[in-house]
Amino acid sequence: MFYYTPAEKVWYAGGKLSYLKGGCRHFGHNKRDRLTRDALYRVDYAPTCSLIVKSWPLRDSGIRMWEELFVYYDDTVFCHELTQAGIRIYFTPRIHLWHKISSSTGGAKSEFSRYFMTRNWLYWGIRRRNLAVLTSALALGGFHFLVRNKVEMRAMRDALQMTRSLPQT
C-alpha cells in the first residue's frame, strides 16, 4: 500500500505486532517498493483499510471489531485477536492501493489523533490485562503529557473510565 502522495512511497508492505510497544510496525515504511510481486508474505498485522477477511472464521471464533476503538488501534487489536485464534494473515504486493493517510484525523500530531492513540492504547492494555501494553501506554502517555499538553492525560482518564463498565473476572 502506497501513500496517496508521494505515490511511489510505501506506507505498508506487511507488518508485525509489537506487544511491548502496544502497536505495530509497518514493513517497508517510507521506502520504495522492492518486493517480489508473486510472493505471499505471512504477517501478523494488516491495517483494516486493506484487510479482506472471510466471515466464517470470525463467526466461528467470535472475533469482532471493537466498536469503542473506531479509530487507532482498532486494526491492531483485531489482528492480535486473529493471530491469537490461529487465523493467519497474509500480505501480497500484487495488489496496489493508494491511501490518504490520516486525511480525516489531521495526522499523527493532531490533538484528535494523540487523544485516540493514547486512549485506545491504554484501554486495550487494561481490557486485555496486558502488562507490557499497559506499562508502555502509561509511560509514553505520561511523557507526552509532560512535554506537550493535557490531551494525553485526558485520554488516559477516559480510558480508565471506559474500563469501569467491563465485566469483572
Helix axes 111-127, 151-163, angle to 10 degrees: 30
Q: How many CB atoms lie within 10 A of CB 25?
A: 12
Which grid coordinates belong to 95?
495488489
pLDDT at 165: 78
Q: How many CB atoms lie within 10 A of CB 10?
A: 20
What percentage of the chain carries pLDDT values higher than 70?
Answer: 89
> Which residue is it, cell 502506497?
2
Contact between 46 and 91 (Cβ < 8 Å): yes
pLDDT in tens, the chain (169 residues): 888 888 888 888 888 988 666 678 888 777 777 766 778 889 999 998 888 888 998 899 999 999 899 888 899 999 989 999 999 999 888 888 898 877 777 777 788 888 898 888 888 888 877 777 777 777 776 776 666 667 777 888 888 888 887 776 5
- The domain spans of the chain are 1-101, 105-164
Calpha distance 139→9 (Å, rounded)? 32
Helices (H), the chain: 55-61, 74-84, 111-127, 131-147, 151-163
With residues binned 3-state (H G I as helix, E B as strand, rest as coil), the percentages for the chain, rounded to 5, are: 40, 10, 45
pLDDT at 21: 66
- Among 4, 22, 6, which residue's Cα sits nearest to residue 125? 22
